[in-house]
A and B are shown apart, each in its own frame.
Chain A
């Protein structure tokens, strides 16, 4: 008996693939929801507690449902690999994401200086803030990929 058979599925049939475009649609929504959750956690304080707690609880429920649906969707499937065009589009999407991050940082600074707003960044929320920004960047990148990779309906065949 081959020991590898314990760890590998007996699968002579080619596994169907989740299209890359479809995967990135889901990924964009999931990453952006995660980003707003973690940014919300970073911003929460005694003044904003009630409102943010309700919103974060709602977001957590939606994210849980999305996670279950995602794993149900990919069960038994593999995700389509990037081809040369997808790599080019992803590179373009990355550059556009960098632009969006710079722009959004500038807009946030403007808003804060106009409204005299601010929030404290300390050891309690810096990790959430950084992770939230990472998720935001990943979500925007997936979103740009989906937008740049669109083809018109009815083009098949």
Chain B
């Protein structure tokens, strides 16, 4: 079964951005960002693209699936 891996926390640290700030930028709740970072939630394409555009990177760079 594939597991979602993200580099969200690293990108947030580089940008010095809090979870709440990122959540507000992409229009979701802080709880959603927390679960994304823990790999407990698979985001919709739109949300993944919005987050990628906040950090100026690509969806593939931020999110990946591992077996």
Of the four ranges (under 10, 10 to 19, 20 to 34, 35 or more), the interface on chain A belongs to 10 to 19
Does the CB pair B41–A85 fall under 8 Å?
yes
Does the CB pair A156–B29 fall under 8 Å?
no
Does the CB pair A83–B28 fall under 8 Å?
yes
Q: How far is the CA of A138 from the CA of B59 in the complex (A)?
A: 38
Does the CB pair A83–B32 fall under 8 Å?
yes
Partner of B18 from the list A20, A151, A156 (CB cut-off 8 Å) is A156
Q: How far is the CA of A84 from the CA of B33 in the complex (A)?
A: 11
16 additional A-B pairs beyond A85-B29, A85-B31, A151-B34, beta carbons within 8 Å, are A19-B29, A20-B29, A83-B27, A83-B28, A83-B32, A84-B28, A84-B43, A84-B44, A84-B47, A85-B28, A85-B35, A86-B32, A149-B31, A151-B35, A156-B20, A156-B34
Residues of A within 8 A of B (CB): 19-21, 80, 83-86, 149, 151, 155-157
Q: List, sorted by A's number, 14 A–B pairs whose CB atoms are closer than 8 Å.
A: A19-B29, A20-B29, A80-B29, A84-B47, A85-B31, A85-B35, A86-B29, A151-B31, A151-B34, A151-B35, A155-B34, A156-B20, A156-B30, A157-B18
